[in-house]
Structure 1
Amino acid sequence: MTKPLLFCFDPVADLNAELLILGSMPGQESLTANQYYANHRNAFWKIMADILGFDPGSSYETRLQALKTGRIALWDVLQSCTRTGSLDARIDANSISANAFQRFFDSHQNIRAVFFNGAKAESTYRQHVLPTVSSIAVSYRRLPSTSPAHASLSYEQKLQLWQAALKPKTSFVR
């Protein structure tokens, strides 16, 4: 049985974005809901709410607007891939197609820091994207995955690491 080709969402970003958070590819619940981080067990929106000061239970549109207000862009490294289930480890390496990052950076010139939501996002970016983008003055940093599959750290530990990384980068983050 052939696995279907999965496609990511468009980036969430406006022209004022200074930080870019990258996942690898949305999980099955997110793809079904057509929303970034739709799995209620994923800590992403709770962490962002704690950092930016919004209600994590607010509407998806409100949460996206909070990111934009905080000058944070959100996207995925992969434009498409095949995968069984939702785990990054199940992504078929031969099916990977990366997003057009040079075009993104050209149109979002205020981006000065890229944060990877987990190891797979970082390794895929470094392998498939970094060699294709011209020299841009941004810093790169991997943060612990907000996925429920990454259970080696508590929520409080993840929050502390995300806060320490994001808060010093922009004055718009609480």
Structure 2
Amino acid sequence: MAETHPFGVFVPPITNYFFLGSFTGKVEDTSYDWFYSNKRNQFWSIMEIVYGIDLSTKVKKQYLFTELRMAIADIIISCERKANSNLDMNLTNMVFNTEAINKVFQRNKIKSIYFSSRFAEKLFRKAFKDVMIQYQNIELITLPSPSPRYASMSKQEKVARYTELLPKLN
């Protein structure tokens, strides 16, 4: 059965950076209110360490992205899952979030795109070839996946890479 992405795109009033993931994990409970809310995903705990702030609520997470001037979206707007799995490789019948993502590029001066994984970068390169041609000066940066399944790198190593690669707070 096809799932539709529940969150849309978050775009601060001033946006210079764009964070792109693949597709949200399965919604398992009502506390799942924004991107990367699956309790096993390390994204927000990594971001808390990188920026030294509490990100325990959706409002605090959105505030951080506003301060960073960073939009956030997933490349897939709907898909099906094989074996009811959160693994990217088990996503099928993908429909890309083309309209919303294209609007972010058209309405903002994006300097860098940050991908949550190599899979997200690969999807972007496949689905948004026209964006890559039109906006050739945008830097593409792939971060280590915050998924706990990406075990070839420790959480501390992921924190170090995120600290090195993500924009700094003003």
TM-score, with structure 1 as normaliser: 0.84
Per the alignment, residue 111 of structure 1 pairs with 110
Structure 1 residues 98-137: aligned runs within 5 Å: 98-99=96-97, 100=99, 101-107=101-107, 109-131=108-130, 135-136=134-135, 137=137
Secondary structure of the corresponding residue to residue 28 of structure 1: coil
Q: Which amino acid aligns with 2:36?
A: Y
Question: Structure 1 vs Structure 2: percent identity of aligned residues?
Answer: 26
Contact residue 22 and residue 120 of structure 2 kept, 8 A: yes
Q: Which amino acid aligns with 1:111?
A: I
Within 5 Å, give how 1:24-35 maps onto structure 2: 24-29=22-27, 33-35=32-34
In the alignment, what sits opposite 2:67?
A: 69
Q: TM-score, normalised by structure 2?
A: 0.86
Residues 95-154 of structure 1 deviation map (CA, whole Å, 9 limit, x = unaligned): 1111122222112x2321001101111111111122356511311111110011211110
For residue 27 of structure 2, give the secondary structure of its aligned residue in structure 1.
helix
The corresponding residue for 1:149 is: 149
Long gaps (5+) in structure 1: none
Partners of 1:30 and 1:37 within 8 A in 2: no
- Indicate the SS of the match to 1:11: coil
Matched, 1:53 2:67: no
RMSD: 2.0
Report the equivalent of 2:12. 14
1:173 matched to which residue of 2?
169
SS at structure 2 position matched to 1:73: strand
Letter in 2 for 1:85: S
User: Structure 1 residue runs of 4+, over 6 Å off?
Assistant: none
Give, as a single letter, the amino acid of the residue that structure 2 aligns with 1:155: K
- From the superposition, tell whether residues 22 and 36 of structure 1 become closer, same or farther in structure 2 (CA, over 3 Å): same
Letter in 2 for 1:82: E
Instruction: Give the distance between the partners of 1:17 and 1:37, measured in 2 at CA.
Output: 20
Deviations 1:8-66 (A, max 9, x none): 5211221312111111000013786232111122111112222223113x212112211
For 1:75, the aligned partner's letter is A
